[in-house]
Amino acid sequence: MKAALAFALALVAGPVAALTPAPACEVDPESQRFYSFGEAPAGAYVLEAWPQQVANGFVATSVHADGAAMQFLHHCPTDQYLIVITPESSEDRVLGRFDDMMTSEQSCTMRQIADEMGALGGFTRMGQGDIGRCDCRAAGLD
């Protein structure tokens, strides 16, 4: 009976594991940089990431590391980005507002999003061209 159950579980686990897609990218939370899956520097601590195309050339990616949530918003045509880092204790409030701003019919700039996230307790960083482009490639925008 135990052998039959083990065999049945092995049959179920095998195909399910095979259907799980590899992550499109990896993120190094320390350097806040994207890498194609398996291409991060040796010894780097990386997190799996599945970027999502948002609209108008933007890609959004969320990861969690060391008690903090990180949200990346990357404008692929210009390579400009916004990173929002918030403690998991305030994640719902900060990233909930982020999601609201992303889905609103009212347009806003990355600077406006950064200011709003900062006012809610998130740490923000804006820049251009130094976080990699794996997220853009994964979303079909590169």
pLDDT band (50, 70, 90) for residue 11 = very low
Domain-embedded: residue 22: no
Q: Are 65 and 39 in contact (CB under 8 A)?
A: no
The reported pTM is 0.82
pLDDT of residue 88: 86
Residue 9 has pLDDT above 70, yes or no: no
Domain-embedded: residue 89: yes
Domain-embedded: residue 117: yes
Q: Is 67 helix (H, G, I), strand (E, B) or coil?
A: coil
The predicted-structure confidence for 78-136, as pLDDT tens digits, reads as follows 999 999 999 988 999 999 999 999 888 999 999 999 999 999 999 999 999 999 999 99
Domain-embedded: residue 2: no
Residue 53: C-alpha distances to residues 38, 59, 87, 92 (Å): 22, 4, 25, 21
Domain-embedded: residue 56: yes
pLDDT band (50, 70, 90) for residue 3 = very low
Residue 139 DSSP class = T
Give me the number of domains the chain comprises. 1
Kind of pairing between the strands at 33-36 and 52-53 = unpaired
Q: Give the separation between CA 65 and CA 24, rounded to whole angstroms.
A: 18
Domain-embedded: residue 96: yes
Can you read off the two tokens belonging to residue 25?
């990218």
Domain-embedded: residue 31: no
Q: Give the separation between CA 98 and CA 121, rounded to whole angstroms.
A: 12
The predicted-structure confidence for 18-62, as pLDDT tens digits, reads as follows 566 778 899 999 999 999 999 999 999 999 999 999 989 999 999
Domain-embedded: residue 80: yes
What range defines the domain where residue 65 resides?
Answer: 51-138
